Chain A
Amino acid sequence: ETGVTQTPRHLVMGMTNKKSLKCEQHLGHNAMYWYKQSAKKPLELMFVYSLEERVENNSVPSRFSPECPNSSHLFLHLHTLQPEDSALYLCASSQDLNLGYEQYFGPGTRLTVT
């Protein structure tokens, strides 16, 4: 238990569906992240939020839309996804964005796009 929870743990959706992934951290951290983990690629940073403001958008397609309503919650809204978007989506948080701060990861949402 790292203090970062993600729901749902597994999600199967069609290409025309709209769904949302939820992340919640109970650590009092100020920074939150979305990562994509595919079978044949390194862990890819998607979005970074610090104090609810987006700091970085790593050239992610617009079919992925993040939302950070407060420092404890982070959402990833999904619409019209492609089969190649199937992957493990990991949320993480850290105390701050400063170098050296440990990132605490949630267990991930395993997404399958059919």
Chain B
Amino acid sequence: TQLLEQSPQFLSIQEGENLTVYCNSSSVFSSLQWYRQEPGEGPVLLVTVVTGGEVKKLKRLTFQFGDARKDSSLHITAAQPGDTGLYLCAGGRLITGTASKLTFGTGTRLQVTL
């Protein structure tokens, strides 16, 4: 079983603070995605990284894929209440030929207060 451990599990911070969420595995993945899920909704994709060492920025969010493609991090600068939600990493791997499936991480629940 390929496990993706996220840390921290819970994070409560004030508006304006910076934070980093980690996603770690002992397995290699072909791609790594980050999703955010808000209450009463399904997860929504934030980013996909596919190359070891790759860094992508999405406004105040910075995503990095580890060199060995076993881990990833999400850094948020100057957090805002709208960033509140459950953050999920998901590792992609091939199951047959070109078909792939995602293994989701344990999740990090972020709350940003005023």
B99 lies within 8 A of chain A by Cβ: yes
**Which residue of B has the minimal Cβ distance to A88?**
B42
Our pick among B31, B42, B94, B98 for the contact of A4 (Cβ within 8 Å) is B42
B33 CB contacts on chain A under 8 angstroms: 102
B98 CB contacts on chain A under 8 angstroms: 97-99
Contact between B43 and A105, CB atoms less than 8 A apart: yes
A106 lies within 8 A of chain B by Cβ: yes
Our pick among A35, A43, A99, A108 for the contact of B100 (Cβ within 8 Å) is A99
Complex Cα distance, B95 from A56, in Å, reads: 9
**Which residue of B has the minimal Cβ distance to A99?**
B100
How many residue pairs between the two chains, A and B, have CB atoms under 8 Å in the bound complex? 69
Shortest beta-carbon distance from A56 to chain B in Å:
6
Shortest beta-carbon distance from A47 to chain B in Å:
11
Contact A97 B45, CB 8 Å, known A42-B106, A43-B88, A43-B104: no
B14 lies within 8 A of chain A by Cβ: no
B43 CB contacts on chain A under 8 angstroms: 43, 90, 103, 105
Contact between A45 and B101, CB atoms less than 8 A apart: yes
A43 CB contacts on chain B under 8 angstroms: 43, 88, 90, 104, 107
B96 CB contacts on chain A under 8 angstroms: 55
B66 CB contacts on chain A under 8 angstroms: none
Our pick among B48, B99, B103 for the contact of A55 (Cβ within 8 Å) is B99
Our pick among B30, B42, B48, B95 for the contact of A108 (Cβ within 8 Å) is B42
Contact A105 B44, CB 8 Å, known A97-B99, A98-B100, A100-B92: yes
Shortest beta-carbon distance from B5 to chain A in Å:
9
Our pick among A44, A92, A98 for the contact of B99 (Cβ within 8 Å) is A98
Interface residues of A (CB under 8 A from B): 2, 4, 35, 42-45, 48, 50, 55-56, 90, 92, 97-100, 102-108
Chain A to chain B contacts (Cβ below 8 Å), 15 pairs: A2-B42, A42-B105, A42-B106, A43-B107, A44-B104, A55-B99, A56-B101, A99-B30, A99-B50, A99-B94, A99-B98, A99-B100, A100-B48, A104-B45, A105-B43
